[in-house]
Amino acid sequence: MESDCFFTIGKGHRECQDYARSSSGFIVVGDGCSSSRDTDVGVRHIVNSAMLRHRRYGTSFDPGWVIRRAAKAAAMLGNCSTSLDATLLVATLDERSGIHCFAAGDGYIAARMRSGELRLWEIDDGPAPAYLSYTLDSERLQRYWDEWGIRRRITASVDGEVVSEQFVSLRDDYVFHLRLSTREVETVFLMSDGVNSFQDGAGEKVDVRSVVDELCALKSVRGEFVRRRARRFLGKTCSRRSWGHDDDLAIAALHIPGGQRENMA
């Protein structure tokens, strides 16, 4: 299998608050909150904590463990827990049960199917994403419930056409979980909501599905294949179409070669 990642600053930011990492069978993307201090550092703590969890325990993902370990790292540097106000998206391959994708906060999960279809899930928490950092402080978490509500919207599309929309309670499912079959999926992608910040030369918003389609149009899956594709898109494609992005952008991909089998029972 192959994996790779890429992240870059948006023109509306002074520091890049997105981050991504990849390893064999594991990819992770984080997006720091622009209105909280030092989230460019905090998002790295969270992403690296998720990587550490994977190295130690394999496919056993535990968001509570991840955010507590990130909080310890932040405290050692004198940063408060609000520096950890960041989304977290994870995809891990379990050869027995398939690909497990997790999202704490908003973002995008895409899957290139072996049939050629491109499926996309948009996870939208509204104006206030459900950061794992809120779970470190019961009073702060309660304020979040009181001020912003408890509903997450998940919109699914296939080849650019919306096929379903559902709403889930964040009280019941604070971390979104999506399981995909390696029989059906060739490559899974995680993307920050920076893919939804593109505008054309006239200042009109570019449909996020058009951006995702371009970023997922891989020419190969060797070496730094995500970096190559993202740089080509941000360079040649965006220049030709006069597209630009204000928000930071992060993307990671995990390619599963044919022949993988898992027990989906």
Domain membership of residue 263 (yes or no) is no
- Residue 150: per-residue pLDDT: 79
DSSP element (H, E) containing 96: none
Task: Walk across the sheet containing 176-180 and list its strands.
Answer: 18-23, 26-32, 86-94, 98-104, 176-180
Residues linked to residue 54 through DSSP beta bridges, in sequence order: none
Structural domains counted in the chain: 1
- Kindly state whether residue 73 falls inside one of the protein's structural domains: yes
Res 62 pLDDT > 50: yes
pLDDT digits (tens, 9 = 90+) for 75-130: 999 888 899 999 999 999 998 889 999 999 999 999 999 999 999 999 999 889 99
| pLDDT for 259 | 53
Give the pLDDT score at 264.
41
- Burial (Cβ within 10 Å: 0-12, 13-18, ≥19) of residue 262: middle
Q: Does the pTM exceed 0.85? A: yes
Which residue pairs, CB below 8 angstroms and at least 24 apart, start in 166-170?
Answer: 170/125, 170/130
265, pLDDT greater than 50: no
CA distance 262 to 265: 9
Q: What is the mean pLDDT of residues 61-68?
A: 96
Dihedral sign, Cα of residue 161, residue 165, residue 170, residue 173: negative
Within a domain: 264:
no
DSSP secondary structure string for all residues of 137-173? -HHHHHHHHHHH-SEEEEEEEETTEEEEEEEEETTT-
3-state secondary structure of 86: strand
Q: Shortest CA distance to 234 belongs to which of 248, 254, 255, 219?
A: 248
Q: What is the mean pLDDT of residues 215-228?
A: 94
Quick check: is 262 in a domain? no
Specify the DSSP element, H or E, that contains 20.
strand 18-23
**Which DSSP letter does residue 136 get?**
G
Helix segments in the chain, DSSP class H: 39-57, 63-76, 138-148, 208-215, 225-232, 238-241
Identify the pLDDT of residue 60: 86
In this prediction, residue 206 carries a pLDDT of 96
pLDDT tens-digit map of 145-165: 998 877 899 999 999 999 999
Q: Report phi then psi at 127, rounded to 5.
A: -75, -10
The pLDDT-based confidence of 182 (bands split at 50, 70, 90) is: very high
Domain that holds residue 29: 2-255
Q: How far apart are CA 125 and CA 38, in angstroms?
A: 22
Instruction: Look at residue 260 and tell me if it is in a domain.
Output: no
Look up residue 43 and give its two tokens. 């998002």
Secondary structure of residue 249 in the 3-state scheme:
strand
- Total H helices, total E strands in the chain: 6, 14
Task: Tell whether 103 is covered by a domain.
Answer: yes
In this structure, is residue 265 part of a structural domain?
no
- What confidence score (pLDDT) does residue 258 get? 80
What CATH number corresponds to the domain at position 147? 3.60.40.10
Q: Quote the CA–CA distance of 45 and 70 in Å, as a whole number.
A: 5
User: Do the domain assignments include residue 104?
Assistant: yes
